[in-house]
Structure 1
Amino acid sequence: MEPEKLSNYVVLLNIYNSCGKQKEAASVFHTLKKKGLRMLPVCTWIDVKKQQHMFVSGDKKSKSHVEIVKNLKKLMLGIEKHGYVPKKNTLLPDVDEREEQMLMFHSEKLAVSFGLMNTSDSTPLHLVQSHRICDDCHLAVKLMAKLTGRVIVVRDASRFHRFENGKCSCGDYW
């Protein structure tokens, strides 16, 4: 049904990934490449001091990229002490090591790191995400909120997520 419609493949890809059928998910991904269909990069926006900042997964164009990544690595070490383990099951079986490293640099994580660095401790962070938040980022942001004592609100393509004290308003049903 509608073989040239990207959204159908994305739904199928998500179904296979969520069921743990990595081989089938990889096949859908390869079909997308063969048909010349490409998924748009995931973007996350955050407003800080009335100025909008956009982050793309793996982006290195930001002026303060080095500081953002340094802060993010510190955050990741902190949330590991709260039980964070990267959820690599969202990755396809044929991803290379570089793509696996990209999991740490998803746009949401970069935006949260930037927001934490550039706002006061009492300011909630408000992010808007172009796609649906992945389960790894959902867990990471939940634990970042716990670690920092901050409220972090993420509006993704499906719903609002309000992270506070290590919990999400969606009840982990996203």
Structure 2
Amino acid sequence: MIDLLGRSGHLDEAMDLVRTMPMQPNAIIWASILSACRVHKDVDLARNVADHLLKLEPDEDAVYVQMYNIYIDSREWENASKIRRLMEDRGVKKTAGYSSIAVAGQVHKFIVGDRSHPQIMEIIAMMEEITHRLKSVGYSPITSQITVDVDEEEKEQALLAHSEKLAIAFGLISLAPNLPVHVIKNLRVCEDCHSAIKLISKLWNREIIVRDRSRFHHFRNGACSCNDFW
């Protein structure tokens, strides 16, 4: 119920339910509200929720990363830097992201910018086709997802090298056209990848299922089962 209230933007009602629960809210409940705070851009509530989460899970990197992204989204650069310093001071390391896909009984694993796959040239060619077709229908990379100080072209290239995009490109060249593409990612799918995969599902007329750290995303005909509550 708290997750549903958060998804629909009723954050005050979600917090009222938390306060009146007959048991202490656990990390899952607080994490649901924190995700809703990012979607609905409630920075003040996010700060309060993050305090509760960090008391319960001080070594969980996802809390720090989520707050960092919330601050970046709201252009609170100084607070974003404080979160990074806090991670460093506490020795919390961000989990490296990877995506995997099974083809013909073999699991293929990709990391961001990965060029080690034996079919990397075919994958790159497919990524170039994906990029061309996405831009032809008006897709614009969400470069705000890249926080390092590089120019826009480099940011676009970095987004194209995300592991889930590489795994999907490999699935498109390796699986029969009538088969869905199943990808597993150990972290949350970023906003840019989520937006791009919706379009890929429509342009290639393929079902794409991505299981990330938080939920299943079932992409079909340009839409996702999460209703963009990614």
- TM-score normalised by length of structure 2: 0.68
2:132 partner amino acid: L
Correspondences of 1:99-114 after superposition (within 5 Å): 100=155, 101-114=157-170
Q: How many percent of aligned residue pairs carry the same amino acid?
A: 35
Correspondences of 1:117-132 after superposition (within 5 Å): 117-132=173-188
Aligned residue number for residue 51 of structure 2: none
Question: Structure 1: where are the runs of 5+ without partners?
Answer: none
- TM-score normalised by length of structure 1: 0.88
Aligned residue number for residue 158 of structure 1: 214
Aligned residue number for residue 73 of structure 1: 128
Aligned 8 A contact 1:131 1:157 in 2: yes
Correspondences of 1:5-44 after superposition (within 5 Å): 5=59, 6-33=61-88, 36-44=91-99
Aligned 8 A contact 1:46 1:53 in 2: yes
Tell me by how many angstroms 1:4 deviates: 5.9
Greater Rg by CA? 2
Q: Out of 100, 105, 115, which is 1:45 matched to?
A: 100
Greater RCO (CA < 8 Å, at least 6 residues apart): 1
Q: Secondary structure at the match of 1:66?
A: helix
Q: Distance in 1 between matches of 2:69 and 2:221?
A: 29
Q: Secondary structure at the match of 2:137?
A: coil
Q: Distance in 2 between matches of 1:170 and 1:120?
A: 26
Q: Distance in 2 between matches of 1:95 and 1:41?
A: 20
Aligned residue number for residue 192 of structure 2: 136
Report how many residues are paired: 173
Tell me by how many angstroms 1:14 deviates: 2.7
| Residues 62, 20 of structure 1: alpha-carbon distance in 2 compared, 3 angstrom cutoff | same
2:96 partner amino acid: P
1:95 partner amino acid: D
Tell me by how many angstroms 1:34 deviates: 5.7
Deviates most, 64-73 or 36-45: 36-45
Q: 2:149 aligned with 1:95, yes or no? A: yes
Deviates most, 68-77 or 94-103: 94-103
Q: Distance in 2 between matches of 1:86 and 1:22?
A: 21
Q: Out of 103, 117, 121, which is 1:62 matched to?
A: 117
In proportion to residue count, which structure has more helix? 2
Deviates most, 116-125 or 19-28: 19-28
| Residues 162, 4 of structure 1: alpha-carbon distance in 2 compared, 3 angstrom cutoff | closer
Tell me by how many angstroms 1:114 deviates: 0.2
| Residues 34, 58 of structure 1: alpha-carbon distance in 2 compared, 3 angstrom cutoff | farther
1:66 partner amino acid: M
Following superposition, which runs of at least 4 residues in structure 1 exceed 6 angstroms of deviation? none
Q: Distance in 2 between matches of 1:137 and 1:22?
A: 23
1:147 partner amino acid: L
